[in-house]
Structure 1
Amino acid sequence: MTRDKRFKKVYSQGTVNVTEIWVDLDTGVNYIFHASGYAGGLTPMLDRDGKPVISPVENR
């Protein structure tokens, strides 16, 4: 199974304190990544009902 990339960065802000939004191109789930210095974390983005934010994805 070969594919180019599964995740696509759709938003980026900052250099030392970085905030990015990544979309899983297979499921459409949006993830937020935040890093500050040597620490960082990744978590799915949730709507106000606690469900994952899902973007429409194109067939690949």
Structure 2
Amino acid sequence: MVKFDSEKFDVVKFGAKGSNDVRVIVDKETGVQYLLATTYGIGAGMTVLVDEDGKPKLRK
């Protein structure tokens, strides 16, 4: 199991419905935003969010 490092990352948005969970996680140092989607008992996926130019989306 992966440990969440709250000193390095912030969870800025959270949504859940049934066994599905979606979070936007921000690296505190770089400001880069990631999307983490989980379906409990099945799996999870994480990807960087990008802006309209394909660059990593940063927290403002």
TM-score by length of 2: 0.79
Work out which of the residue numbers 51, 54, 60 in structure 1 matches 2:55: 51
Q: What secondary structure sits across from 1:14 in the alignment?
A: strand
Over the aligned positions, Cα root-mean-square deviation in angstroms equals 1.4
Return the offset for 1:49. Answer: 1.2
Where does the alignment leave 5 or more consecutive residues of structure 2 unmatched? 1-5
Work out which of the residue numbers 9, 23, 45 in structure 2 matches 1:20: 23
Work out which of the residue numbers 26, 34, 52 in structure 2 matches 1:31: 34
Detail structure 1 runs of 4+ shifted over 3 Å in the superposition: none
Return the offset for 1:48. Answer: 1.5
Q: What secondary structure sits across from 2:57 in the alignment?
A: coil
> Aligned residue pairs: how many?
53
Where does the alignment leave 5 or more consecutive residues of structure 1 unmatched? none
Structure of higher CA gyration radius:
1
